Amino acid sequence: MNKKFNLCDIYIWLWVIGFIQKLFITSSFVSLMFSIPSMLITLYCFVKMFEQYRPKGAFMILSIFFVVLVSYGIGLVLLDNAMRGNEKVGSNSFLLMSLSSLGPIFAFYYFSRLGLLDEKKLIIWFFVFLAVVIIHYYDSERRAMISIMEKTSNYKYDDITNNAAYFVLGLFPFLFVLRKRPFVQFASLVILYYFVVSGMKRGALLVSAVLLVWFVFVSVRTTSNNRKRIIVVLTFFLIIIGWRFLIHFYESNNYFQYRIESTLEGRVSGRDVIYSTLWQHYLNNSNIIQLSFGEGAYHTFNIAGNDAHNDWLELLIDCGLVTTLIYLVYWVCFFRDWMRSKQNSLLYAMMGACFIFTFLRTFFSMSFSDMPFFTSMILGYCFAKTSVPINTNILQES
Domain of 361? 7-52+102-267+344-395
pLDDT bracket for residue 2 (50, 70, 90)? very low
pLDDT for residue 37: 94
- In which band, very low, low, confident or very high, does the pLDDT at 161 lie, cut at 50, 70 and 90? confident
> In the chain, pLDDT over 90 holds for what percent of residues?
53
Please report which helix (H) or strand (E) contains residue 83, including its range: strand 83-84
Residue 157 predicted with pLDDT over 60: no
Instruction: Give the residue, 391 or 298, on which the prediction is more confident.
Output: 298
Residue 88's SS3 state is strand
Q: Rounded to two decimals, what is the model's pTM?
A: 0.88
* CA-CA-CA-CA torsion sign (345, 347, 350, 355): negative
pLDDT tens-digit readout, 106-126: 999 999 999 999 999 999 999
- Taking the C-alpha atoms of residue 92 and residue 80, their distance in angstroms, rounded to an integer, is 8
Domain-located, residue 67: no
Q: Give the pLDDT confidence of 22-52 residue by residue, as tens digits.
A: 888 777 778 888 999 999 999 999 999 999 9
pLDDT of residue 206: 86
Q: Which residue has the higher pLDDT, 248 or 358?
A: 358
Alpha helices in the chain (DSSP H): 7-24, 28-52, 57-79, 93-101, 103-114, 119-151, 165-169, 182-199, 202-222, 225-252, 254-264, 271-284, 288-293, 299-304, 311-318, 320-340, 345-364, 373-386, 392-395
pLDDT tens per residue, range 51-67 = 999 888 999 999 999 99
Tell whether 274 is covered by a domain.
no
Whether 156 is covered by a domain: the verdict is yes
Note whether residue 298 is domain-resident.
Answer: no
DSSP 344: S
Domain membership of residue 352 (yes or no) is yes
Structural domain includes residue 189:
yes
348-360 tens-digit pLDDT = 999 999 999 999 9
First to last CA, the chain: 30
Tell me if 15 is assigned to some domain: yes
pLDDT at 242 over 90: no
* CB neighbour burial string for 284-309, b if at least 16 within 10 angstroms, e if fewer: eeeeeebbebbbbbbbbbbbbebbbb
Q: For position 182, what pLDDT does the model report?
A: 81
For CA atoms 294, 297, 303, 304, the dihedral sign is: positive
Residue 79: inside a domain, yes or no?
Answer: no
Q: pLDDT grade, residue 151 (50/70/90)?
A: low
Q: Which of 353, 388, 328, 343 is nearest to 56 (CA)?
A: 388
Instruction: Report d(CA 147, CA 321) in Å as an integer.
Output: 38
Domain count across the chain: 1
Give the strand pairing for 87-88 and 83-84.
Answer: antiparallel
The pLDDT value given to residue 227? 64
